[in-house]
Copies of this chain bind each other. A is one copy, B any other.
C-alpha cells in the first residue's frame, strides 16, 4: 500500500510493522524529489541478500509507498481473528494473500482467496491460505496473511517497466483485461518519462478511446494515471537491479487509480562496457573520416579484381583531390602513385586508413596505423565476428582503443563522401551530390542503396557501410550528419543498435534539424525473451523498438523500398506549414485512390471554404467537382492544370498539394511536367514553399515526366497513387516530430 507520507492518527502507516491495522486507499500527489529511495534500496538489498528475485507483498507495499503508488487499503494479519477484524475495517469484498519470502507464486501455492465478503469467510480464508501454503512448502517462512480491499471499479490497465536489451529501462502502459492482453494493446517509452510523455502514452494505445469514457462511463482521471506512469518509470530508472515492475491490474476511474497487484523482480544489474566519447570527440574523428585531406590504402594493388585495386581506382577516378597513398610492401608504385612499404612511411598527416588486406593481417597493420596517429581505420575485410572469428575482432578493437583509432567495420563495402569526391569502396563509384546521407549495416543493402540512388539520380551526401560495427555506429554518424551542412536527411538500415540510448540521444538532437529515417530489420523475428511478468511478455523486441524510435522522432520505414523512396523525396519537399492538404486531379479515379492513401498516411483532406471553392470552380468545367479532391476532369488543357495548381500554391490556407495527372492528347505528360515545374518554381521565387507531390497515370511517357518533376522539386511517380502520398506522409511525420507543425 502507499499511504500519505505523514500517516494520520488512526490510520497508521502500513507494512509488516502495522500488523492488524489497515492502511487507507491513497492518492496523494508526489513529486520526484519526494521519493523515498532509501526505503526501496533497503527492501531490495534485503531481498538480494536472501537470494530472492521476487518481493513479498509487504515489501512491495513498502516500494509502492515510497513511490506514491496508490494501492487498495490493506493490512497484515497474523491470526484468523485479526484477518476478520481487518477485513471489517477495510470494507468488503477483500482478498487474502499469503505473505512469505519463500513463496513467489502465491496463486499456484493456493495462497490467494479472493471475493471474501463476510467476517466469517475471512476467518475461513485465513485458515485456507495458511494451510495451502504450508502444504505447498512445508518449511516456508510465513510472515502472515495480507488482507486487501478488492478493487473492482474502473477500467483495468497495466503499468509496468522492463529492462530492454537495447534501450535499458522502458516503461509500459496498456489496457488490461483479457481482450487487450490478447490484442497486445500496449505502448513503451524510455524510462523515466516526463508527464507529457506519460500523457502521450495514454493516447498511444489503440483502444485509447476507452479511457475517455465510452458507453456513458466517466473518463478516467488522466492526470492520476499519467502520474502513476511517471512514478513507475522513475522507480525503474532509479534501481537498475529492478529488472521488471508489473502493476497489473491497475483500476483507473474518474476518482483516480489503484494498483491492485504489484509484482517486482530483481535481476543482475548489468552495465554496458562501452567507451564513451563526447560529441566533440566524435565530431573531430568523424569530420576527419568524412572530410579527409589524406587517405592511405593498406593493401593497395595494381592487380585488377583485387579489392585493394578497386579501392585505389575508385579514389583516383572519383576525383578525390586530397592525398591518396597506396601502402604495399611489394610495389613501388600503384596506379601511378608512390607506394609505401608501411603506412609509417607515408609523409605527412593521414586522416583515414582504408584496409584492403586479409583479416588475419589487420591487427599488425592497425598497430602501425595507430603509431602513425591516423584517427580512422576503415576495415573492408570480412572474416571477423560475422564468420565466427570473434577473438580476431576483439584483438583489432583492442589495438584500436590502445591507439585511439576509430574503426569503421569490419566487413563493409567502404564508404562514399560525394561532396569530397571520395569513393573509398571496392564497389562502383557514385558522384551525384545531394542531401541524403545513407548508412547500411549490411553490404547487400548498401548495394541496393547505390543502385537505387543511381537509377533515380538521387543526390547523396554520404553512403556508409557499418558492417560488424566493432566501434563506429549509427549514433557516431548521426552526430556528424546532424551538423553536416550538406546533409538534409539521414536514412539508416540497421539490424540492431549497440547502444539504444546513445542512438536516441543522437536522433533527438538531429530530428529538429533534419529527418532521420530508419529501416529496422528483424522486425517480425521478435526473439522470444524469457519474461517473468506480463509487461515482460508484451515487450517483444520490436514493440519496444517501434515505440522508442517514434519517441525519438525517427521516421520508421516499413521496408527497404520505402526507406529509399523516403530518402529520395524528403530533401526535395519543403516542410509543410500546416495540415491542409488539397488534391487536384485530372482523373476522378486517381482522386479517390489518392484520398484513400491520405487517410492511410494519417493526413486529411482540407475542408475547402466557400470562397476558395468558388475560386477553383471558376477554372474547371461545370461538371467537374470542386470540393476536395478537386476533379478538373480528364479532357482539360494545360491552362486548367496551371490555373488550379497556381491557386493551390498561392492560397495561404492550403499547406500541401497532391496532384493526379491523367495522360491525354490535350495535355501530354511532358507538357504537364513542365508547366507544373514552372508554376512551382514561380511560387518559390515569390517565397511560397509548399510540398507538392504527384501521381502520373498514363503511357510510359509519364516516367520521363515524373523524373523531370522530381528534378524540379515535385515528388512525382508513375503508375502509383500510394507512393506520392506516402512520402508526403513521411514529411508530415517528421515535421510533427520536429515540432514544426501545430
A residues apposed to B, CB below 8 Å: 175, 177-183, 185, 206-207, 209-210, 214-215, 217, 305, 310, 382, 386-388, 427-428, 440-445, 447-448, 450-452, 454-455, 493, 495, 519, 521-525, 558-562, 564, 585-590, 592-593, 595-597, 599-600, 621, 623, 634-635, 660, 662-663, 665, 697-703, 718-723
Contacts and interface: CB of A to CB of B under 8 A. Distances in A.
A697 B444 contact: yes
26 contacts: A175-B179, A179-B180, A179-B210, A182-B209, A182-B210, A386-B588, A388-B623, A440-B589, A443-B634, A443-B662, A444-B660, A445-B589, A448-B697, A455-B718, A495-B592, A521-B589, A521-B592, A523-B596, A524-B600, A525-B592, A525-B596, A559-B593, A559-B597, A559-B720, A560-B593, A561-B721
B595 A447 contact: no
B447 A699 contact: yes
B177 A451 contact: no
A177 B387 CA distance: 53
A700 B593 CA distance: 31
A451 B699 contact: yes
Given A564-B719, A589-B442, A719-B561, A448 B600 contact: no
Chain multiplicity (copies): 2
A444 B210 contact: no
Nearest to A426: B665
A412 B447 CA distance: 44
**Highest count of chain B CB atoms <10 Å: which of A206, A447, A621:** A447
B181 A214 contact: yes
**Highest count of chain B CB atoms <10 Å: which of A305, A600, A719:** A719
Contact of A521 (B177, B559, B596): B596
A481 B110 CA distance: 66
Given A589-B441, A662-B447, A559 B703 contact: no
A524 B388 contact: no
A305 B666 CA distance: 9
Contact of A451 (B207, B660, B718): B718
Given A450-B699, A698-B448, A700-B451, A442 B588 contact: yes
Contact of A217 (B178, B455, B559): B178
A443 B623 contact: no
Given A388-B623, A442-B588, A589-B495, A178 B700 contact: no
B525 A595 contact: yes
A447 B697 CA distance: 6
Given A305-B665, A521-B596, A523-B596, A590 B442 contact: yes
Contacts of A521: 589, 592-593, 596
Given A451-B702, A699-B454, A179 B177 contact: yes
Contacts of A386: 588, 623
A495 B178 CA distance: 38
Contacts of A593: 445, 519, 521, 559-560
A558 B601 CA distance: 13
Contacts of A635: 382
